[in-house]
Amino acid sequence: MIRTRIIGTGSYLPERVVSNYEVGVSLDLDPAVVSRLTGIQERRRAAESQASSDLAVEAARQALEAAGFPASELGAIVLSTTSPDTVFPSTACHVQRMLGCSAIPAFDVAASCSGFLYGLSMADAMIRSGQVKTCLVVAAEVKSRSVDPADGDTALLFGDGAGAVVLRGEPEASQLSRGLLGLRLRSDGAQHSLITIPAGGSRRPTTPETVEQKSHTLRMQGAPLFRLAVKRLDQAIREIVKEFGVDIHDVAQFVLHQANGRILDQLTKRLGVSQERVCSVIGRYGNTSSASLPIALDHVVRSGRILPHDIILLGSFGGGVTWATGLVRW
């Protein structure tokens, strides 16, 4: 039996820092109010010359360096984004070219903020089935370009960034072997209208009217989305620890989608765990959509908060709606 192991993590945040004053001024909001509402103090913005693939490559290079692994030996690339460079080819193909990889499979997944865990699941399946031995999974977002700065529901939250992991299949010597224990994916399309970009696809192609109506920017129903995210993630976390026989108090770190500070606080209270065990980088980087989870994972790894054989719980929730959880023995 083969178990998939994370052998390297990486992340990249653009240089430009956007303060609460900058996002709040057009909405007539005091910076302290923005912080209180969101738990965010600042977020990053990509330079005009940067696309999602540029951010992805920087995060990928960090992960490859941490793994001590050359890009030329990767078996596949799976990339999550809601802000692709182009409709096609996939952003993963752009990353494959920029890293100088051989003719390996490279494709995008679209599961909004849950995309990184969806991609991790696809990569895990390819490795365990013997199709590939290694895989780069990366999530990259230039979310700022789909946000209306006059929309208070979204303008305060979103930032740009990328995170990546390198995976390798290793023989599973025992139940205590290090690696991915399991990933569980869920969706509920009946709730699709809670967060969406209404136009730009085949149902509502781009027209002068859709541009004038700002229908190519993110629309979000904050309050119902908040309630559903907390409910679904709480339930999914309890289900996966029960399925794999893990006591929730034996989880060393909860690395969750960094949607906003209030969701993280609510989940921490519901689960009955200490704040020190729930990674939070929301204050520094804002909501970077599917990139937020691998960015947070890289943060806890590089800060030394994860030790070998620690149990790590991963969780995300996003548009679709979609949600996902995973357990890792580090």
Does residue 159 contact residue 44 with C-beta atoms inside 8 Å? yes
> What is the DSSP pairing of strand 77-80 with strand 106-109?
parallel
The reply to whether 158 and 55 lie within a common domain is yes
At 146 the pLDDT is 97
Question: Based on the domain organization, do 55 and 155 belong to the same domain?
Answer: yes
Residues 7 and 155 in one domain: yes
Q: Which residue has the tokens 């023989």?
A: 171
Shared domain for 268 and 239, answered yes or no, is yes
Buried b (16+ CB within 10 A) or exposed e, 27-54: eebebeebbebbbbbbbbbbeeebbbbb
Residues 38, 165 within the same domain: yes
End residue of a domain, out of 171, 193, 219: 171
Do 154 and 11 reside in the same domain of the chain? yes
Query: Which position among 20, 93, 94, 113 bears the catalytic label?
Result: 113
Q: Which two tokens stand for residue 161?
A: 């960034």
User: Given 126, 144, 171, which residue is the final one in a domain?
Assistant: 171
Catalytic residue among 20, 93, 94, 287: 287
Residues 201 and 155 in one domain: no
What is the per-residue pLDDT for 173? Answer: 72
19 lies in the same domain as 72: yes
Total count of domains within the chain: 2
Which of 171, 194, 227 is the last residue in one of the domains? 171
Catalytic site includes residue 260 = no
Q: Which one from 93, 94, 101, 257 is the annotated catalytic residue?
A: 257
* Residue 203 and residue 299 share a domain: yes
**Cβ burial, residue 285 (10 Å; 0-12/13-18/19+):** buried
Please confirm, yes or no, whether 113 is among the known catalytic residues: yes
Q: What is the CATH number of the domain that holds 40?
A: 3.40.47.10
Cis peptide before 89 (omega within 30 of 0): yes
Whether 93 sits among the annotated catalytic residues: the reply is no
Do 111 and 207 reside in the same domain of the chain?
A: no
Q: What is the pLDDT along the chain (330 residues), one digit of tens a residue?
A: 999 999 999 999 999 999 999 999 989 999 999 999 999 999 999 999 999 999 999 999 999 999 999 999 999 999 999 999 999 999 999 999 999 998 999 999 999 999 999 999 999 999 999 999 999 999 999 999 999 999 999 999 999 999 999 999 999 877 778 999 999 999 999 999 999 999 999 999 999 999 999 999 999 999 999 999 999 999 999 999 999 999 999 999 999 999 999 999 999 999 999 999 999 999 999 999 999 999 999 999 999 999 999 999 999 999 999 999 999 999
| Domain, as residue range, for 259 | 179-329
Specify whether 119 is located in the same domain as 190.
no
Answer yes or no: do 224 and 282 share one domain.
yes
> What does the pLDDT read at residue 100?
97
d(C-alpha 294, C-alpha 302), whole Å: 12
